Amino acid sequence: MLAFIAELVKFKVAPPIFVLRVIKTLLADFTPTHVVLLCTVMEACGRYLFLLPHTHSLMEGYVQSMLRLRHARHMDLYHQTLIDSAYFSVLPPVRIRRKGDGEGEEESVVQKYIKYIILHKLGEPGACVDDIITSLRRLPWSSPTEDILKHVLKCMLKIAYTHYTTIPALADTISGLNPYHSRLIVTLVDCVWEHVQNGLEVPLKRDLQRTLGVVRLFGEMYNFMCISTGEVMDFLYHVLHFGHAETPTPAPISTPI
């Protein structure tokens, strides 16, 4: 029930004060049972409340109080692990960029232009998809020095990951590029299948929003006739039957004693 209320707060259905009162009560009586409940709430909406301007300072104090209680009281390894997991869900460790990751490489003018068209111009209110398609078609797709397909694909997947409401316009853009660059759709569908397969095999909460985004992109591509009905049916069959046997097997018959 607490996890459900926390999700309501995270999606702005319920006010944050509901969860903040619960956290304060659980910290006041830091029993093993309340530790489990507290960690459940922290993992569900702690990060969201920590980033809100009007609840940031309060959540920061609650997190520090949770850590002080962890070190001040004797707890078993299970509850210590729960608290550590809740803490890092609210304050994830800073990722250190290593040389060769590609994050610090300087972008070319063409790459910056692709990012501007897809990530910014496409998401503007009243954006004209035809103008965006025309701009993308003018790119030097056959250039040996610029991998245009790779950069366009990267920006399109980023739209699916982070800009959920822009996905229909993105699918419309892909449909307009399909007659001229059919390889784009083939590569994009492969990326969607790979991401969904990884999400099925390793279902992590942090990847759930991205998985929903790429699945919606797959559906919108069908609406704009970029993929066939057979591909959609194969996709649904694969998702629904993942983890189950191909054919039903009868239960073993117990031999009489």
**Tokens read off for 154:** 């990267």
pLDDT at 168: 92
Q: Output Rg (C-alpha) for the chain, integer angstroms.
A: 24
**Tokens read off for 5:** 């209320």
Q: What is the mean pLDDT of residues 56-68?
A: 94
For residue 177, the SS3 value is helix
Q: Which amino acid is at 167?
A: I
The CA distance from 49 to 157, in Å, is 28
In this predicted model, what pLDDT tens digit does every residue of 161-220 receive, in sequence order?
888 889 999 999 999 999 999 899 999 999 999 999 988 888 887 788 889 999 999 999
The CA distance from 95 to 49, in Å, is 21
Residue 83 neighbours by CB distance under 10 Å: 20
Q: Taking all residues of the chain, what is their mean pLDDT, rounded to a whole number? A: 87
Dihedral sign computed on CA atoms, order 52, 55, 58, 59: negative
Q: Which CA distances in Å does 56 have to 162, 170, 236?
A: 23, 34, 41
In this predicted model, what pLDDT tens digit does every residue of 148-176 receive, in sequence order?
999 999 999 998 888 888 999 999 999 99
Q: Which residues contact 195 (CB under 8 A, 6 or more apart)?
A: 210, 211, 214
pLDDT at 257: 53
* pLDDT tier, 252 (very low <50, low <70, confident <90, very high otherwise): low
Per cent of the chain over pLDDT 90 is 60
Residue 107 or residue 25, greater confidence: 25
Q: What is the mean pLDDT of residues 34-46?
A: 93
Per cent of the chain over pLDDT 70 is 90
pLDDT at 204: 81
Q: Which amino acid is at 234?
A: D
Residue of 45, 169, 56, 65 whose CA lies nearest to 117: 169
Q: Is the pLDDT of residue 221 over 70?
A: yes
User: Domain residues of the chain, as ranges?
Assistant: 2-90, 109-240
pLDDT at 103: 52
* pLDDT tier, 43 (very low <50, low <70, confident <90, very high otherwise): very high
Q: What 8-state DSSP symbol labels residue 163?
A: -
pLDDT at 244: 64
pLDDT at 96: 55
Residue 250 or residue 138, greater confidence: 138
In this predicted model, what pLDDT tens digit does every residue of 85-137 receive, in sequence order?
999 999 988 765 555 455 556 788 999 999 999 999 988 888 899 999 999 99
Q: Out of 2.40.50.140, 3.30.70.580, 1.25.40.180, 1.10.1060.10, which CATH number does the structure's domain 109-240 have?
A: 1.25.40.180
- Of 51-60, 86-95, 241-250, least confident by mean pLDDT is 241-250
Q: Render 35-94 in DSSP notation, one character per residue.
A: HHHHHHHIIIIIHHHHHSTTTHHHHHHHHHHHHHHHHHS---HHHHHHHHHHHHHHSPPP
Q: Is the pLDDT of residue 248 over 80?
A: no
